[in-house]
Chains A and B, each alone.
Chain A
């Protein structure tokens, strides 16, 4: 059964009320290590958004027309990961051909994305919640934008935190985690406004 949610609602829900990072903890590793400066945070956010939207669309097609008819659902982890790796690789080659400056900006982030849990996580959520095609694409786009929003906010906050007097033991990852905690609390303020599944 496909859940009955208007795509627009799902779009906003996946950005705000169930932000893939702050509510579902996906994509934490690169989130913590890349958020040190605003510029690379921005590049990574853009790359994640593009890849998330594309892979969710491709994975939906693969799931619906290959895995389910052939009764191979238990292979979905491997298949999703291969699709993600392939899409990232292709995207890398296309961007390299079409726009070298963009490639220079995004190039180093693309390989990192293959193992970003947010991408695989979105694909698995899409499968478990049984979204239809439009819902899957919208969910991918919304989740990507939500991740992007979270990482640039964190990068901006960390700039200020760097100058603050933080206890020695809490410096670095410790204070970053606590900052993320506060951001997550702020995003809880959105919950209850929109249903997600």
Chain B
């Protein structure tokens, strides 16, 4: 993997092929935790960790795994890393582990992990697969952090638990509840699509 290829993967995963904007993958387990910024940071770090390492492992083992059973083997590899993550969280961050509840375990069925394992790690060398998993996780992270930023700020008037809203700010209770997550992600999709379309247009105009 040379540096040009590495940069290409980074840009693709952060923007052009962002797992959330383009592929709408993996929002299942994480929307639920985006009403608090601190939970989201831990959760998305966890997803990044699990994606990077499981892509790396899948890529290392790709010639050893029989094609017929590769899905289940991939799921087992992912579960392995998620269990490590779960134990680490329980040991060092018991509070957050408790408030994340079942959603840590649900990283296993996060479609991003499977998508990257099937779509990239299966046909690429381990180092590239690791980098791809890592950047996919980061692409996922910045989108969800944006969602969490607005949800916590508007819903509680705090950021990372510290009150930042001006006095007399009335929290928007709806932002704490489920529907706002859908609205936020929908709106972000809209904005990103518009930016992409505008850029395409500019490019087309020049050429």
Contact = CB atoms under 8 A, between A and B. Distances in A.
Contact of A29 (B28, B76, B183): B28
Given A26-B28, A170-B193, A121 B102 contact: yes
A167 B114 contact: no
A85 B70 CA distance: 13
A178 B190 CA distance: 10
Interface string A73-116: 01111101110010000000000000000000000000000111
Interface stretch (B5-13, B81-89, B159-167): B81-89
Interface string A17-43: 000001111111100110000000000
Given A27-B28, A169-B190, A177-B185, A124 B106 contact: yes
B108 A25 contact: no
A180 B178 CA distance: 10
A169 B109 contact: no
A77 B86 contact: yes
A190 interface: no
29 contacts: A23-B178, A24-B32, A24-B178, A25-B31, A25-B178, A74-B83, A74-B87, A75-B83, A77-B86, A78-B76, A78-B79, A82-B72, A116-B109, A117-B106, A119-B109, A120-B106, A121-B106, A124-B101, A167-B190, A169-B190, A169-B197, A170-B186, A174-B186, A176-B186, A177-B182, A178-B187, A181-B180, A184-B179, A188-B179
A173 B109 contact: no
A180 B186 CA distance: 10
Contacts of B24: 29, 32-33, 173
Interface in A116-151: 116-117, 119-121, 124-125, 127-128
Contacts of A22: 178
B179 A185 contact: yes
Contact of B109 (A32, A76, A120, A174): A120
B193 A115 contact: no
Interface residues of B, number: 45
A85 B72 contact: yes
A25 B178 CA distance: 8
Contact of B186 (A121, A124, A177, A185): A177
B108 A26 contact: no
Interface of A: 22-29, 32-33, 74-78, 80-82, 85, 114-117, 119-121, 124-125, 127-128, 167-170, 173-178, 180-182, 184-185, 188
The B interface, classified by DSSP as helix, strand, loop or mixed, is helix
A29 B111 contact: yes
B46 interface: no
B155 interface: no
A177 to B, nearest CB: 4
B181 interface: yes
Contacts of B83: 74-75, 77-78
A123 to B, nearest CB: 9
A26 B75 CA distance: 18
